Amino acid sequence: MKWIAERDALIAQTLAFVQSVTGKKDELHPPEHPPVAFAVTTEIVTVQAAAIETDLPPAVAPPVPQPQPVQIPPPRPGGDFRTEMQARIANFRKHQERFEREREEYCAATLTKLRAALRDVGPPPPAK
């Protein structure tokens, strides 16, 4: 459970940093442990493919697919990014204008139908 101790130390360090920046002390949640430095270690593990032994004869064993390399698209030139962003923004604005126009048309059509329906209905019946 070494990671728990590292997590608690990181929380304590972060809290101490926040307190030093804001100048406030946190009375609600005082640090449980004083901030301590800790070392992070990394380990590189080499994985090698292992042959699978089967009872089937070699001619009947299923073929093992070879992993394909990941295709990474080439980087874009710097100027192309700006033109692409400008084109995307212009396209977005066109969509927003179209949506607003369609909303206005729908609202006008709905109000026209409502006014026509109100005109078609005669005066209210007399009250008794």
Res 53 pLDDT > 90:
no
Domain annotation covers residue 128: no
> Global pTM?
0.33
Domain annotation covers residue 70: no
Domain annotation covers residue 91: yes
pLDDT of residue 72: 79
Q: Are 35 and 12 spatial neighbours (Cβ–Cβ below 8 Å)?
A: yes
Domain annotation covers residue 14: yes
Res 50 pLDDT > 70:
no
Distance CA 120, CA 22 (A): 69
Domain annotation covers residue 20: yes
pLDDT tens-digit map of 66-123: 878 878 777 666 668 888 899 999 999 999 999 999 999 999 999 999 999 888 877 7
Q: What is the 3-state secondary structure (H, E, C) of the chain?
A: CHHHHHHHHHHHHHHHHHHHHHCCCCCCCCCCCCCCCCCCCCCCCCCCCCCCCCCCCCCCCCCCCCCCCCCCCCCCCHHHHHHHHHHHHHHHHHHHHHHHHHHHHHHHHHHHHHHHHHHHCCCCCCCC
pLDDT of residue 127: 80
Number of domains in the chain: 2
pLDDT mean across residues, the chain: 78
Domain annotation covers residue 93: yes
Distance CA 51, CA 62 (A): 13
Specify the residue for token string 């699978």. Answer: 52
pLDDT of residue 49: 62
Residues whose CB is less than 8 angstroms from the CB of residue 73 and which lie 6 or more positions away in sequence, other chains included: none
Domain annotation covers residue 12: yes
Between 29 and 122, name the one with better pLDDT. 122
Distance CA 8, CA 12 (A): 6
Span 52-58, average pLDDT: 61
Domain annotation covers residue 63: no
Domain holding 87, by residue range, is: 81-120
